Amino acid sequence: MRLRTLAEEALREGGARRAGTVRTGSGALTSSELRIARLAAGGRTNAEIAGLLHLARRTVETHLTSTYKKLGIRRRSELGRALNEI
């Protein structure tokens, strides 16, 4: 049972979700999306975030696009407010 729990945690950290998982709202954000969104809300640019997290800039953009959809926002300037509601 412990191995299953560890495997599920590892999959979740990598962005995997179960079929019944919430797809919108703050509960739908993966840990990576949340980390990147917090950095973006704090004023970091996509290039800065990519450098800090050792990711491609395009990966950061993809995570932010997904985050915007899940949170129902359209602009980076709305991230702070949306994240404060989490």
State the pLDDT at residue 14.
79
Residue found by looking up tokens 């709202």 in the block: 25
| Domain boundaries along the sequence of the chain | 23-84
**Mind listing the pLDDT tens digit for each residue in 16-67?**
766 555 566 667 899 999 999 999 999 999 999 999 999 999 999 999 999 9
Rounded to whole angstroms, the Cα distance separating 21 from 31 reads: 14
Instruction: Name the fold adopted by 23-84.
Output: Arc Repressor Mutant, subunit A (1.10.10)
Q: Is the pLDDT of residue 82 over 60?
A: yes
pTM, whole model, 2 decimals?
Answer: 0.71
For residue 25, the model assigns a pLDDT of 66
Read off the tokens for 20.
């019944």
- The Cα 75–Cα 45 span in angstroms is 14
Stretch 64-80: mean pLDDT, rounded?
A: 94
